[in-house]
Chain A
Amino acid sequence: MKLPLRWTKNTVIFGGIAAWGLLLVSCVSVSRTVVAPPKIAGAQFVGSKACAECHDDKAEHFAGATHSRLALKDDKGADISCESCHGAGSTHVKAGGGKGTIVNPGKSPETCFTCHLDKRGEFSLPNAHPVNAGQVSCSDCHDSHKGHAVKQSAADLGAQTKNDSCTKCHVAQKGPFVFRHNAMVEGCTVCHNPHGSVNQKMLVARDANLCLRCHLEHPAVVGNGTIIVGGEDHRTRLQGGTCWTAGCHEAVHGSNASSALRY
């Protein structure tokens, strides 16, 4: 398919300004450091104790945090846990705090991507939470300063339900429903990858495989051409589409009217 290329008026205007900016450059010697994000240009490590002097509320619980397991230290053995994520702190300390002198992972995921390379890839997929766009941050779902990094620990008092991290925003999926989908007991991440997926709605599988993982049953004879779900052959039904398309099991998160989650 060949698509004609066209330019809008705004693109010409903004592109023209940008091109004009390109012409501004000249070759002279410069005394300035540039660094790839999320580093702080020219800053040195100061150690976590310096951070705790002002940010005691964050530091006091960090010993029990998931990330403290790494026990990160600099070449001299000093604890640099804070600066491993927030960048070297000397500029921040010297300035007495302030934006622009320290990395705030709550504003940008680049810090997290430094170690979690796979998450950079997932958040760059077409179906992902808008973390790269800055509308959602890693810290909305993960607390790196205390307890489990994921805001739901097995024995954590605050985690009444497994899906709190998701349903605090997605209220319609929270329930409870008169008839629950037991997949919700296992957690939203059984069906969705919250970091991103190649599939729409961040689904971990795009087709009926998604449901068959938990619902495929033993056929009368293996290889007899049937796909048994709920004791019935669903082979011809699956021809039409997914398990959750119109007229089938639409109420994927739970239903108030159908125990088979039809609607």
Chain B
Amino acid sequence: MHALTFSVLRRARALGSLTLALCGVHSLADTEAKQIDAFPVFDSYIKVTGKSPSVTGNPSSFARRFQTPANGAYGLEALHYAKDLNKETAIEIDGRALSGTEDYLGQIKLTRNETGSFEIGYKRFRTFYDGIGGFFPRNNTWMPLGQAELHTDRAKFWADLSIARPGAPVFRLLYTNELRNGRKDTTIWGDTDFTGIPILSQSSLNPYSAARKIVASYIDLNERQKVLEASLRHTVGKTDLELVVTNNRTDFLDTRYLNRYPGELRPYPAIPASPVTVIPPALANNPILGFDAAGSKARVMNYTGKFETKFSDRLSLFGGLNYQRSTADISGDRELTLFLRTPFGVVSGVGGFTANGRPPYSYRTDFGNTKENIFTANLGFAYKPAQDLAVNLALKRERLEVSGVNQVTYINNLIVQATGVITPVLVDAPNNSLRNEQAWVPELEVRYTGIKNLALYGTFDYRYSPGDQSGLSTGVTLNAAPSEASMSDRIKVTQGHYKAGANWTISPKASVRAEVFYKSHLNRYTGFGDDEGVIFNLGYEFYGTKLTAIVKPAPTLTCTTRYVRQDGKMNTQTDVNDKYTSLDSTNHLFGETIDWTPNNQVYVQANLNVVFATTSTAYPRAGGTANDVLRNADNNYVNGSVVAGCVVDKATDAQLQYTWYRADNFNPAIVASQPYGAAVKEYTVTLALKHKFSDRILANAKIGYFDSKNDTTGGFTNFKGPLAYVSLAYAL
């Protein structure tokens, strides 16, 4: 990692030096430049654009990384039109229509002085995914999805009316209708035995299972959310009042597709354990194919009333009440078909059971609903006992009640392999839960600015939330019988957050900001009734420091440095197990930005982030072969950029940019499990020109090159190639 970092730095330094040398030639002679050649700022304009990459390698991974399809994009990048219709009324129109990225915007806003405004608009954009699964290096196993590019679209329509007449209450009515649909990947990957690990018919001779869950998977999204919000704000005397009523309706049905052991089928009859035989991986398991759909139609009503009374410049009182009630009809079907070999051929059935493995668990939802009631009230004051001292103290009371009922029917097929006889079995499975919590949340903030050039602050908040939960969960056994599990817990949640910081302006050339933070949570679940004595406690504490220094060694040079360190520990305790440290983590984050403006016609900005982050749980304390299953999770990376811009001539500016990113956490040594850990090397370099053709026409042109290498996916998602971009802006 260190060698890698220094290598990157050397290259960045060389490039930065070259950039400075190139740009400085022109600009040094023009240090007294005025603004007579400044580019015009258009009040109203239209901007058309086209960009196209030439991707060599994995096009869908390129699309995901750059959020641009490999075929590029073109169209209307921006339209802005602003005009005063008369002395009192102004109109603003914004638009965008980019084909390829499917990025669209249409927005009109009317504003009338001392009356209000009305805005209506539609926005849509696309997010790209590459649909990859995992990679297993033993035999270069890589199982891509059939689709080249996956994407989801987010769209939003809104209408916003605001009436604000002098002295009258401000009324606002807002309606939004949001949509999210499309297909994206998921990390709920399926299994395969095609991993190159031999499977012996005698299980005791198998040191490691051959199965690895690396088969790509995807999910179809179909989500809609409508919100209608009405609000009223008014000032009566010294008191600001606010009333808000919100009606939120959501309707979604998301379907996840599972594909387990594709292309495999166990032999029949099973290969005997003796003599020991290596089973061909293609015969190691039974394919399971199907979907898991989950949906909900929910309605949430929210009522809020707030006030703030300013008794004086030093004291104000604030508070409010909020009530939220939500009801939802839940739905969801899970149908997984298992394929099984018999003497009479291959049979299949939804939720097939065998004696040789877990059932795929298939069910249909008969009916289900959830209800949620939340009542919240708060009261606080803001007090300035002295000119330089401010104290804010608030207390919140929250009462939460959540209940849910879901009746499902498990779908099974009992299959006798010897005869091929299939017997359908349906199992009714009721599920329900009820949870109550009543929380008290005090919060305190103190600020002091009485010391010259120094601002001090501290905050504290604490959440104490006792309650209880109960419920019944019904599953099925391997023999297609219902299996009920109940729970009855007393809940006690305590969460404390503490923070103190300072902003010290040492001189006009240097300032320092520092903050220390600490948070401590403890979640206790203690069984009662049938679960008497069952305990699960989870506690954790995180603490750390944030430091920022801004130094200006010269009027043309600013260095901003940021360092963040965070350490964390978590522990668990159960009724049968002692307290145990379940997490030990350390994060170091170093960031540096250098802004150098040697004169008015050149600027250079360099950014660097170096992160060392380690998450340690079971390793290395687990011992034995368990240490081959899991190692620490490292999220180390370094990324940065150098951007240099300069004036080229009266009508042209240039900008050169170089970005890079490296992560080196790949650990192929863990053959028993998966070689987890991100390991990527990538860079981009672009050269851009901005040119003024006339006072009404500005053009941008950019050419570049990108390169991405990904060891985590065995190189199967690598991509590289050139990139070109052109745009033309015309003043209306």
- Beyond A126-B64, A204-B635, list 18 extra A-B contacts (CB 8 Å): A3-B718, A11-B72, A11-B724, A14-B724, A25-B649, A28-B649, A32-B35, A35-B597, A36-B603, A101-B41, A114-B560, A121-B609, A124-B639, A155-B441, A217-B572, A218-B574, A231-B577, A256-B370
* Minimum distance in angstroms from B619 CB to a CB of chain A: 8
Whether B414 is near chain A, meaning CB under 8 Å from some CB there, is no
Q: How far is the CA of A15 from the CA of B288 in the complex (A)?
A: 49
Query: Which residues 235-263 in A have Cβ within 8 Å of B in the complex?
Result: 235-236, 238-242, 244-247, 250, 256-260, 262-263
The 10 closest A-B pairs by CB, nearest first: A225-B624, A121-B609, A241-B213, A117-B591, A10-B52, A223-B623, A178-B404, A259-B473, A14-B724, A154-B461
**Cβ contact within 8 Å between A21 and B674:** no
* Minimum distance in angstroms from B335 CB to a CB of chain A: 11
**Cβ contact within 8 Å between A160 and B630:** no
Question: Given A73-B505, A216-B582, A14 and B322 touching (CB < 8 A)?
Answer: no
Closest to A257 in B: B408
Q: Which of B396, B626, B677 has the most CB of A within 10 A?
A: B626
**Cβ contact within 8 Å between B292 and A121:** no
Question: Given A14-B52, A42-B38, A228-B577, A35 and B372 touching (CB < 8 A)?
Answer: no
**Cβ contact within 8 Å between B368 and A130:** no
| Contact code string B35-51 (vs A, CB < 8 Å = 1, else 0) | 11111011100000011
Query: Which residues 106-128 in A have Cβ within 8 Å of B in the complex?
Result: 113-118, 120-122, 124-126
Question: Given A70-B513, A117-B591, A135-B125, A178 and B471 touching (CB < 8 A)?
Answer: yes
**Cβ contact within 8 Å between A120 and B607:** yes
* Minimum distance in angstroms from A91 CB to a CB of chain B: 9
* Minimum distance in angstroms from B75 CB to a CB of chain A: 13
Q: How far is the CA of A218 from the CA of B578 in the complex (A)?
A: 6
Q: List, in ascending order, chain B residues with CB within 8 A of A201's CB.
A: 187
Whether A41 is near chain B, meaning CB under 8 Å from some CB there, is yes
Q: How far is the CA of A196 from the CA of B404 in the complex (A)?
A: 34
**Cβ contact within 8 Å between B572 and A32:** no
**Cβ contact within 8 Å between B209 and A218:** no
Whether B615 is near chain A, meaning CB under 8 Å from some CB there, is yes
Q: List, in ascending order, chain A residues with CB within 8 A of B597's CB.
A: 35-36
Q: Name the one of B296, B463, B591 contacting A120, with C-beta atoms under 8 angstroms.
A: B591
Question: Given A11-B54, A30-B650, A235-B625, A172 and B35 touching (CB < 8 A)?
Answer: no
Interface size, B (range):
35 or more
Q: List, in ascending order, chain B residues with CB within 8 A of A5's CB.
A: 54, 56, 720-721
Whether B363 is near chain A, meaning CB under 8 Å from some CB there, is yes
| Contact code string A59-90 (vs B, CB < 8 Å = 1, else 0) | 00001100001111101000000000000000
Interface size, A (range):
35 or more
Whether B309 is near chain A, meaning CB under 8 Å from some CB there, is no
**Cβ contact within 8 Å between A32 and B601:** yes
Q: List, in ascending order, chain A residues with CB within 8 A of B53's CB.
A: 8, 11
* Minimum distance in angstroms from B708 CB to a CB of chain A: 8
Query: Which residues 27-46 in A have Cβ within 8 Å of B in the complex?
Result: 27-36, 41-42
Question: Given A155-B394, A250-B292, A21 and B701 touching (CB < 8 A)?
Answer: yes
| Contact code string B377-417 (vs A, CB < 8 Å = 1, else 0) | 11010100000001010111010001011101000000000
Whether B527 is near chain A, meaning CB under 8 Å from some CB there, is no
Q: Name the one of A171, A186, A213 contacting B252, with C-beta atoms under 8 angstroms.
A: A171
Q: Which of B36, B578, B580, B618 has the most CB of A within 10 A?
A: B618
| Contact code string B414-431 (vs A, CB < 8 Å = 1, else 0) | 000000000000000101
**Cβ contact within 8 Å between B654 and A205:** no
Pull 21 A–B residue pairs with CB atoms less than 8 Å apart, ordered by A: A14-B724, A18-B724, A27-B648, A30-B601, A70-B503, A71-B455, A114-B560, A115-B560, A117-B592, A118-B562, A118-B564, A156-B378, A176-B402, A178-B406, A180-B435, A205-B635, A214-B572, A215-B582, A216-B583, A219-B622, A259-B485
**Cβ contact within 8 Å between A36 and B605:** yes
Q: How far is the CA of A44 from the CA of B226 in the complex (A)?
A: 44
**Cβ contact within 8 Å between A247 and B250:** no
**Cβ contact within 8 Å between B726 and A239:** no
Q: List, in ascending order, chain A residues with CB within 8 A of B127's CB.
A: 130, 135
Q: Which of B12-20, B275-283, B339-347, B657-665 touches A?
A: B657-665
Q: How far is the CA of A33 from the CA of B556 in the complex (A)?
A: 13
Whether A141 is near chain B, meaning CB under 8 Å from some CB there, is no
**Cβ contact within 8 Å between B701 and A3:** no
Q: How far is the CA of A32 from the CA of B462 in the complex (A)?
A: 54
Q: List, in ascending order, chain B residues with CB within 8 A of A197's CB.
A: 635
Whether B602 is near chain A, meaning CB under 8 Å from some CB there, is yes
Question: Given A5-B721, A205-B615, A227-B629, A11 and B52 touching (CB < 8 A)?
Answer: yes
Q: How far is the CA of A214 from the CA of B521 in the complex (A)?
A: 12
**Cβ contact within 8 Å between B676 and A19:** no
Whether B680 is near chain A, meaning CB under 8 Å from some CB there, is yes
Q: How far is the CA of A28 from the CA of B650 in the complex (A)?
A: 7
Q: List, in ascending order, chain B residues with CB within 8 A of A19's CB.
A: 703
Q: How far is the CA of A27 from the CA of B406 in the complex (A)?
A: 75
Question: Given A32-B601, A34-B646, A117 and B623 touching (CB < 8 A)?
Answer: no
Question: Given A30-B601, A30-B647, A25 and B689 touching (CB < 8 A)?
Answer: yes
